[in-house]
Amino acid sequence: TSAANTLIIGEPSEELTIHRDLFGQFSEHIGEGIYGGIWVGKDSAIENVNGIRTDVVNALKALKIPVIRWPGGCFADQYHWREGIGPREDRVSRLNAWGNIIETNQFGSHEFMEFIRQIDSKVYINVNLGSATVKDATDWLEYLTAAAPTSLAKERAENGHPEPYKVKYIGFGNEAWGCGGAMTAGEYFSRLKRYSTFALNLNPEQQFSGIDLLFDRGASNPHAMIKVAAGANDLDTEFTEKMMQLWAQAPGYLPIFDALSLHHYTMSRGPMSDSASEFEHSEYLRFVAMAQEMDTILKAHSAIMDKYDPERSVGLVVDEWGNWLKPDLATNPAFLKQNNTLRDAITAGVTLNIFARNAARVKMANIAQMVNVIQAMVLTQGEAMIVTPTYHLFKMYVPFQDAQLLPVDHKPGTINVGDKTIPTIDAMAARANDGSVWLALINIDSEHTLTVEPVLGTVAIKKAAGDVLTSAQVNDANSFKHPNRVNARQVSFAAKGSQPLKITLPPASVSVIQLSTK
């Protein structure tokens, strides 16, 4: 144990909400991401409600998932929504490019909405801009959201859901520069304009009236659907620059998009080359250093957006992020099923802290992907299910949803990683809606226990309690044989006499701690 690190928690100069949607998830038709992982069908021996597995729903409910992006990813630009509605026995089968397997369309719009209902989340639909039409997209939205008895609303009712659904976010295509159609930003923008203009949410609770539609979109209805344009990858700031230029120049009364997306995976030498669970200590540190690059990337894109949109009316949404590693659990490498270790939880914590600090511009994020794919929350194998270290991390971070960021001033030690220097402790603080102050404390140093002394203005902190997530080795994972190897445990600390309260942080750990002045 080394000397304590004083952590001064200040008051913000302006309110900054850590939007709950920063803790969003992504679910694509890849491998067992949907089939087997979420959807098992009503006749399955696996316990389910309306075909959706109960163990997965129960586990995910504890994460209070604010929003889920579906059906892709690259899959979204091959997806034809009509093939996934109506009697399941009549649905169209197609080849899914992820692993060249048959997509049976058993899980379509109604099944996704039922899943959203069961886990009490919100909807982010990604429409097919790459290989379908504007009409397909507008019809899909009308089918989902119209209350009036239009033919599409009636069809939805005949398919079992008379009530209109809500769609909080709509994305137009995915990775337009790549699998979404290999377009330049300019080419994408000119397609996007038509999609965006005609994409109307007809749910009366989300709609805005005729006059609002012309002059006053967002302000008139806080529940109005948010339009997300497919954006850049990594540090491709040119793509963002072009999109923002065109956004600012676009004539007319409707903003072409309310949010611009960004994808950034932590990986090296292309996807799937880094071992998910067999790695040395130096490799752990290299990953933490790579995860910290998210901050540089967000700042680079935000700076460009500030130029064209100083009012920050356009949100930056990181709708794909995570550690993309070797698919060591996959039967088919294209299923992207990978192991998940303590390292993944630590880098997820580092990333969520970065999102919180950049929350002035970053309004939503969706980790890839929720079930069985890339950096998953849960893994299934037949009827068995386990939760991953990343799951525990997301569960611990629930108190930060919609909390107000508080500045933290401290001087952590440093670790050299190649030509980079990373801090030993990553600290983030926030005030929840009930007034309680929470800390997320990541001890990145995997060799030493560290201690912090939080200071909250002039009021003495008497006690602190919360959860810590750690394990003996940074590459420890949960397995179907040992499902609880990496698990969170409760911790509490109390000040001794008039001494400042000390919080100890085990090596390679994440602690989420609530402070108490009573």
Site string for ligand AHR, 337-376 (x = CB under 6 A): -------------------------------xx----x--
How many CB atoms sit inside 10 A of residue 130's CB? 23
Q: Residues 103, 111, 142, 320: which is the catalytic one?
A: 320
The answer to whether 241 is a known catalytic residue is no
Position 175 contacts ligand AHR (CB under 6 A): yes
Pick one of 77, 111, 258, 320: the residue that binds ligand AHR (CB under 6 A).
320
Cis peptide bond prior to 186, omega within 30° of 0: no
- Asked if residue 228 lies in contact with residue 171, where contact means CB atoms within 8 angstroms, the answer is yes
Position 73 contacts ligand AHR (CB under 6 A): yes
Q: Within positions 395 to 434, which residues make up the interface with ligand AHR, using CB under 6 A? A: none
Position 28 contacts ligand AHR (CB under 6 A): yes
Position 37 contacts ligand AHR (CB under 6 A): no
The answer to whether 158 is a known catalytic residue is no
Nearest residue to ligand AHR, using CB?
A: 73
230: part of which helix (H) or strand (E)?
strand 226-233
Name which of 66 and 171 has its Cβ closer to ligand AHR.
Answer: 171
289: part of which helix (H) or strand (E)?
helix 281-291
Cis peptide bond prior to 404, omega within 30° of 0: no
Residue whose C-alpha is closest to residue 51's, from 35, 64, 62? 35
Name which of 231 and 466 has its Cβ closer to ligand AHR.
Answer: 231
Contacts for 276 with CB less than 8 Å, ≥ 6 apart: 325, 326, 327, 328, 329, 338, 339, 340, 341, 477
Burial class (CB in 10 A: 0-12, 13-18, 19+), 266: buried
- Asked if residue 171 lies in contact with residue 76, where contact means CB atoms within 8 angstroms, the answer is yes
* Alpha-carbon distances, residue 108 vs 113, 179, 284 (angstroms): 9, 21, 39
Pick one of 5, 118, 126, 174: the residue that binds ligand AHR (CB under 6 A).
174
Q: CB 270 → ligand AHR: shortest distance, Å? A: 11
CA distance 281 to 289: 13
Q: CB 290 → ligand AHR: shortest distance, Å? A: 17
- For CA atoms 360, 362, 364, 369, the dihedral sign is negative
CA distance 430 to 395: 16
Name which of 110 and 263 has its Cβ closer to ligand AHR.
Answer: 263
Q: Residues 163, 175, 238, 283: which is the catalytic one?
A: 175
Total of chain residues touching ligand AHR, rule CB under 6 A: 10
Pick one of 40, 59, 74, 314: the residue that binds ligand AHR (CB under 6 A).
74
Position 183 contacts ligand AHR (CB under 6 A): no
Site string for ligand AHR, 141-170 (x = CB under 6 A): ------------------------------
Stretch that binds ligand AHR, among 71-79, 249-257, 285-293, 421-429 (CB under 6 A): 71-79
Stretch that binds ligand AHR, among 69-77, 131-139, 303-311, 444-452 (CB under 6 A): 69-77
Using CB under 6 A as the criterion, which residues of the chain lie in contact with ligand AHR when the complex forms?
Answer: 28, 72-74, 174-175, 320, 368-369, 374
Residues designated as active site = 175, 320
